[in-house]
């Protein structure tokens, strides 16, 4: 069953065609990677999923429901969580507070005027926060100010923030960008661990090791169109993919 269904999406910016007739179908529970050379339109496509951009034409359906035109918070409430290229966290709050926010968002919805109860007094919240931090291996640092973490740890925090919401779909925008080899290995391992909980994952990545280790299905974008799609083995051997990466013009 296709959880995320993208059909005939087109997007142009002042005459520049960023996406042309892009089709994408992500099966529930799968790990689907989107790869392609720089400027292929990967981030543009992702932004269409998360409400940052509205496609000129085409549809984006999530669990049967259209995501086009929804505000970011609505898309999240529908079950889509995302991780940013540069980890986006609440830098001046502690790790525990960072994870508490999404937990509260999950429990209370997009808005609730709960101004009298104590946020830290609620046991169920605290337990969920601690569990999420435990999952990503940051439980020891729950009282550390998030801004002081290394990039790799910030990424882990961000993942914890996503996981605590128990999303149906997790969008990862270049999760290992700028990471050392060691950090990348740790991130792959973390993502594999999460994978056992069968959250559908869409990963945009440059790092081929990450892609071929994690992905069950790969879509290749180049210059705004899908040039290939299939399982890792067939993509590896696909001549069009090789040309796109090695021979084609880079925008």
In the region spanning residues 49 to 78, those forming contacts with other proteins, defined by CB under 8 A, are 50, 71-74, 76-77
Does the protein bind other proteins through residue 21 (CB under 8 A)?
no
CB nearer to other proteins: give 68 or 227.
68
Does the protein bind other proteins through residue 85 (CB under 8 A)?
no
Does the protein bind other proteins through residue 92 (CB under 8 A)?
yes
Does the protein bind other proteins through residue 148 (CB under 8 A)?
yes
Least distance in Å: CB of 234 to other proteins? 34
Does the protein bind other proteins through residue 1 (CB under 8 A)?
no
Q: Which two tokens stand for residue 125?
A: 């919240």
Does the protein bind other proteins through residue 88 (CB under 8 A)?
yes
Does the protein bind other proteins through residue 161 (CB under 8 A)?
yes
Binds other proteins (CB under 8 A): choice among 110, 208, 233, 250 = 110
Size of the site for other proteins (CB under 8 A): 45
Q: Which residues are 24's β-sheet partners?
A: 6
Residues of the shown chain interacting with other proteins in the complex, contacts defined by CB under 8 A: 50, 71-74, 76-77, 81-82, 84, 88-94, 97, 100-102, 104-106, 108-121, 143-145, 147-148, 161, 165
């Amino acid at each position: 069953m296709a959880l995320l269904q993208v059909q005939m999406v087109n997007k142009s910016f002042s005459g520049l065609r960023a996406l042309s007739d892009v089709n994408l179908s992500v099966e529930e529970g799968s790990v689907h990677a989107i790869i392609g050379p720089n400027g292929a339109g990967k981030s543009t496509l992702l932004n269409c999923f998360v409400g940052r951009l509205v496609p000129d034409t085409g549809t984006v359906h999530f669990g049967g429901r259209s995501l086009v035109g929804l505000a970011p918070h609505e898309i999240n409430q529908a079950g889509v969580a995302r991780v940013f290229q540069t980890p986006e966290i609440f830098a001046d709050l502690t790790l525990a507070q960072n994870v508490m926010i999404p937990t509260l968002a999950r429990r209370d919805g997009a808005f609730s005027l709960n101004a009298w109860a104590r946020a830290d007094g609620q046991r169920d919240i605290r337990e969920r926060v601690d569990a999420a931090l435990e999952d990503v291996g940051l439980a020891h640092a729950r009282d550390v100010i998030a801004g002081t973490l290394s990039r790799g740890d910030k990424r882990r925090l961000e993942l914890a923030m996503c996981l605590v919401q128990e999303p149906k779909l997790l969008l990862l925008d270049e999760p290992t960008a700028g990471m050392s080899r060691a950090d990348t290995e740790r991130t792959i391992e973390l993502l594999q661990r999460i994978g056992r909980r069968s959250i559908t994952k869409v990963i945009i990545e440059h790092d081929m090791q990450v892609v071929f280790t994690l992905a069950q299905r790969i879509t290749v974008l180049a210059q705004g169109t899908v040039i290939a799609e299939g399982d890792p083995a067939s993509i590896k051997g696909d001549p069009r993919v090789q040309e796109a990466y090695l021979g084609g013009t880079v925008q």
